[in-house]
Amino acid sequence: MDTNIIIYSAAWCAYCHAAKEYLDKLGVKFTERNVEEDPKYAQEAVDKSRQMGIPVLDINGTIIVGFDRPKIDEALKANKLT
């Protein structure tokens, strides 16, 4: 099932790793877009979040900046992904 979850991240970002590990633990599939490797992804993340910080999670259109577990859980539940 295509869940339409995108994580904008970078290799050096500890919170990015935490967010990805959390989704992996829940068994939720996602697409990773590395903002360092492709400037287009960095611009997408800024356009969606209106901020410069990462990670940016796009869960079926719900934008979450940072590893905010309660917001991630809420968005996953709202989209029936957990």
* Digit-coded pLDDT (tens) for 20-60: 999 999 999 999 999 999 999 999 999 999 998 999 999 99
Q: What's the whole-model pTM score?
A: 0.92
pLDDT band at 2 (very low <50, low <70, confident <90, very high): low
Nearest residue to 79 via CA among 3, 25, 6, 20: 3
Q: What is the pLDDT of residue 4?
A: 86
How is the chain split into domains, by residue range? 5-78
Separation between Cα atoms, residue 54 and residue 57, nearest integer Å: 8
Amino acid at 70: P
Q: What is the pLDDT of residue 3?
A: 60
Q: Which CATH superfamily is domain 5-78 in?
A: Glutaredoxin (3.40.30.10)
> Any idea what the Cα angle at residue 37 is, between residues 21 and 73, rounded to 5°?
25
